[in-house]
């Protein structure tokens, strides 16, 4: 039997040595970001996502091992564990297979079969199910089991009880279930219909008469009709050719040599299929589809979340945040380049023309007073009216005013603004104004602001509220952790929520760091972190490389070089003829060339590290304090807006990808409605999923395909038309 390490190595396409090392590192309490970044030689440079996948599968396989042991112990306790059964359980590759093998031995609730056994009919069932050549005639044999005291008064009652027992035996046959499950996956259909005879129009209209092979149904379809079923708008079922499926069962339980009991066993097989097996397998198939759809949706959410968090920051500029609204007006907050609140206001651009003019005058005065450079507009209720007002505002400032705006995803802003964290951060502001501050800061540094919000509340997924909460939280938490650690955190400016996402730190230690900073002033070295209460040697090992201390005299404290590698970094500098001052002054041109000239392997050996670590050190020395997000394309800032009536087929536009889902991508093109690029319109080649080409936050070129003003729908394409009108 393969070991867990062997299974993981085969599944991931990695060597057993590297997989074994990762398992050991995880068991020793090391975090995924730390392993991915600082133990590359041990795992062959696996990325953080691969290591997380390995960790998930490791947990599943260990749970599977534990369940195998539980099942064998239970069966052995009944005195029924044979070497063949033990081998089958050990060889089961999934929990479902283990449960199939355990089914005949599992303590059941009272069933028709158990009642029949209580009546003494198990012997009759065994004789008939054995289907021996000399098997007696069922009706004649049944007479021997008549017992009025046990309510078995007729031959029909005896045979009926025996049928119930045989049907349950057939239903509990692991081989029958495994074969039938595979058959359903390959040949069954998912069928949905309206729950009412004359259904009203709804978002589920596509599923009022829907049929799809189980093997081809899409995850988003499963999630949609599951929700429709919960809301009692749809009926959902699995359909398959009964005779073919039943034939698969009977071939496994009816012996080829005909005997007196053949018809009896065939009838029991039919009863088992209709009453026990089909309903159970239907539930299993539905559950399998839902689980796969959930995993797909969670994976897509994670895929969308990462680029959203990693959007390039628009740092160092005074920014105005607008939280649009109708009844409560538009909340305004102006923050400086570091996110500090300078001013607030509430305006009412949607109340009427006079109020809109007053709004523009108020905002224009704030822009001039604080020298606002950018305006961030939340994409919620009334955002497009607010955007239109902003365009008029920018125009009113005149050509000399270099002000631009951007629509930002405001999902979760209201959750944050009502949280204890926001109340502590802005006790002087009401809930609505806190949202405006959050929106402004999201443009300045999306990652630092979004970490304050539960990832589930950041709306870049599909059906996220239907997902298993624990699994969703674990996955999205991993994405946030990877992003935070990839960027690095300034220990002297970071909030406690941001610090809590650093490898090796938790909320309590993060709060202690902030408290220590407030009581003792800015940190002046990484080593000083060891003075923080509850931040021990292990936590320091995990977090140190991801925390930056720009104020430190040790230039390496402002890089991703881990303190354990400072000696190696200093040796590398000396080897190539550079000093720490050269690092600080950015005078390391030619470092890579000198390493190559000396020989990477030789240089790594001289420095006492592996080649991957050497290359990481060199990259950090050349760009101390760098932010990897700065190397990504800048976000799209606008100064004007289009109306949907302005759009014409073939028109070329620039837009920002707002969400990526199974069937396409929604793109903000500066109109009052995001346009949809269907998956078929994303690339000239075949793609299985839009995420192969686009990510949330990407700035893309699109062309208008169709416009439906009445339904407020815009269809876009990323395939350049033969004749495209550019705007």
What SS3 class is residue 699?
A: strand
Q: What is the pLDDT of residues 398-454, one digit of tens each?
A: 876 789 998 888 877 778 888 888 888 888 888 889 999 999 999 999 898 888 888
Local structure of residue 198 (DSSP, 8 states)? S
Closest listed residue to residue 478, CA positions, set 60, 64, 35, 94: 35
pLDDT at 725 exceeding the cut of 50: no
Average pLDDT over residues 591-616: 94
CA distance 207 to 231: 13
How much is the pLDDT for 461? 65
DSSP string of 333-367, one letter each residue: EEE-TTS-EEEEEEE-TTS-HHHHHHHHHHHHHHH
β-pairing, 234-239 vs 319-323, is unpaired
207-216 tens-digit pLDDT:
999 999 999 9
pLDDT of 385 over the 90 cut: no
CA separation for the pair 566, 115 (Å, rounded): 75
Q: What is residue 189's three-state secondary structure? A: strand
Contact residues for 509 (Cβ-Cβ < 8 A; gap 6+): 499, 500, 532, 534, 535, 539
Q: What H or E segment, with its residue span, contains residue 102?
A: helix 95-102
Alpha carbon distance 304, 308 (integer Å): 7
CATH topology of domain 520-631: DNA polymerase; domain 1 (1.10.150)
Task: Kindly state which CATH superfamily the domain 4-105 is placed in.
Answer: RuvA domain 2-like (1.10.10.650)
| pTM (two decimals) | 0.81
Fold of domain 644-726: OB fold (Dihydrolipoamide Acetyltransferase, E2P) (2.40.50)
Residues in the chain: 727
What tokens were used for 571? 């040796």
Q: Please, what CATH class does the domain formed by 319-476 belong to?
A: alpha beta
Compute the average pLDDT of residues 131-144.
Answer: 94
Compute how many other C-beta atoms are within 10 angstroms of the C-beta atom of residue 415: 17
pLDDT band at residue 304, thresholds of 50, 70 and 90? Answer: confident
Residue where the block lists tokens 């705007």: 727
Tokens 């070329």 sit on residue: 652
Per-residue pLDDT at 380 exceeds 90: no
The Cα 660–Cα 431 span in angstroms is: 30
| pLDDT for 525 beyond 90 | yes
Per-residue pLDDT at 224 exceeds 90? yes
| Residue 726 confidence (pLDDT) | 46
Any idea which fold 127-300 has? Tex N-terminal region-like (1.10.3500)
Burial class (CB in 10 A: 0-12, 13-18, 19+), 112: middle
Find residue 547's DSSP bridge partners. 489
> Does pLDDT of 254 surpass 50?
yes
DSSP 147: B
Structure tokens at 698: 């990407």
Tens-digit pLDDT profile for residues 547-560: 999 999 999 999 99
Query: Please, are residues 485 and 38 in contact by the beta-carbon 8 Å criterion?
Result: no
Q: Domain coordinates of the chain in residue numbers?
A: 4-105, 127-300, 319-476, 520-631, 644-726
């Amino acid at each position: 039997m393969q070991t867990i390490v062997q299974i993981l190595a085969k599944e991931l396409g990695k060597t057993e040595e590297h997989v074994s090392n990762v398992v050991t590192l995880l068991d020793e309490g090391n975090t995924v970001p730390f392993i991915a970044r600082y133990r590359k030689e041990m795992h062959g440079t696996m990325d953080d996502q691969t290591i997380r996948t390995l960790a998930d599968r490791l947990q599943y396989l260990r749970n599977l091992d534990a369940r195998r042991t539980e099942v064998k112990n239970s069966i052995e306790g009944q005195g029924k564990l044979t070497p063949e059964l033990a081998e089958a359980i050990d060889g089961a590759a999934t929990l479902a297979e283990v449960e199939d093998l355990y089914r005949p031995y599992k303590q059941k609730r009272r069933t028709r079969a158990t009642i029949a056994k209580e009546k003494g009919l198990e012997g009759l069932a065994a004789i008939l199910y054995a289907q021996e050549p000399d098997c007696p005639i069922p009706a004649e044999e049944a007479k021997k089991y008549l017992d009025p005291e046990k309510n078995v008064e007729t031959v029909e009652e005896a045979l009926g009880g025996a049928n119930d027992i045989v049907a349950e035996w057939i239903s509990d046959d692991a081989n029958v279930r495994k074969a039938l499950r595979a058959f359903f996956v390959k040949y069954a259909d998912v069928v949905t219909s309206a729950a009412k005879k004359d259904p009203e129009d709804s978002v589920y209209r596509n599923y009022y008469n829907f049929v799809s092979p189980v093997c081809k149904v899409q995850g988003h379809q499963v999630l949609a009709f599951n929700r429709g079923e919960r809301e009692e708008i749809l009926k959902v079922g699995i359909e398959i050719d009964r005779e073919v499926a039943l034939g698969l069962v009977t071939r496994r339980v009816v012996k080829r040599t005909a005997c007196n009991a053949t018809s009896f066993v065939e009838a029991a097989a039919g009863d088992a299929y209709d009453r026990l097996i089909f309903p159970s397998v239907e539930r299993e198939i539905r559950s399998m589809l839902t689980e796969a759809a959930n995993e797909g949706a969670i994976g897509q959410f994670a895929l969308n979340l990462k680029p959203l968090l990693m959007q390039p920051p628009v740092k160092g500029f005074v920014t105005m945040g607008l939280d649009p609204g109708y009844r409560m007006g538009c909340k305004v907050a102006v923050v400086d380049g570091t996110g500090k609140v300078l001013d607030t206001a509430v305006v009412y651009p949607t109340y009427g023309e006079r109020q809109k003019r007053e709004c523009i005058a108020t905002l224009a005065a704030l822009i001039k007073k604080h020298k606002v450079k950018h305006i961030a507009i939340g994409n919620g209720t009334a955002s497009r009216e607010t955007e239109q007002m902003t365009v008029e505002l920018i125009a009113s400032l005149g050509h000399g005013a270099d002000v631009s705006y951007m629509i930002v995803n405001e999902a979760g802003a209201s959750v944050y603004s009502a949280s204890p964290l926001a109340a502590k951060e802005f006790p002087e502001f009401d809930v609505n104004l806190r949202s405006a501050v959050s929106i402004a800061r999201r443009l300045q540094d999306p990652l630092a602001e979004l970490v304050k919000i539960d990832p589930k509340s950041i709306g870049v997924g599909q059906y996220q509220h239907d997902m298993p909460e624990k699994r969703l939280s674990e996955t999205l938490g991993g994405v946030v952790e990877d992003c935070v650690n990839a960027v690095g955190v300034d220990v002297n400016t970071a909030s406690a929520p941001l610090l809590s996402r650093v490898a090796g730190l938790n909320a309590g230690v993060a709060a202690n760091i902030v408290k220590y900073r407030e009581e003792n002033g800015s940190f002046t070295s990484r080593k000083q972190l060891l003075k923080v209460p509850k931040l021990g040697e292990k936590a320091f090992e995990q977090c140190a490389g991801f925390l930056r201390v720009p104020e430190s005299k040790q230039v390496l404290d402002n890089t991703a070089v881990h303190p354990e590698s400072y000696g190696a970094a200093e040796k590398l500098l000396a080897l190539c003829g550079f000093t720490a001052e050269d690092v600080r002054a950015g005078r390391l041109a030619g470092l890579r060339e000198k390493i190559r000239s000396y020989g990477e392997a030789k240089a790594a050996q001289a420095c006492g590290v592996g080649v991957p670590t050497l290359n990481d050190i060199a990259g950090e020395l050349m760009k101390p304090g760098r932010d990897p997000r700065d190397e990504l394309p800048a976000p799209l800032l606008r100064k004007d807006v289009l109306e949907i009536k302005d759009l014409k087929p073939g028109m070329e536009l620039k837009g920002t990808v707002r969400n990526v889902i199974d069937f396409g991508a929604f793109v903000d093109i500066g109109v009052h409605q995001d346009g949809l690029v269907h998956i078929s319109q994303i690339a000239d080649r075949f793609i299985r999923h839009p995420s192969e080409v686009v990510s949330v936050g990407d700035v893309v070129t699109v062309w208008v395909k169709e416009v439906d003003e009445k339904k407020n729908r815009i269809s876009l394409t990323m395939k350049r038309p033969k004749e495209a009108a550019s705007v």
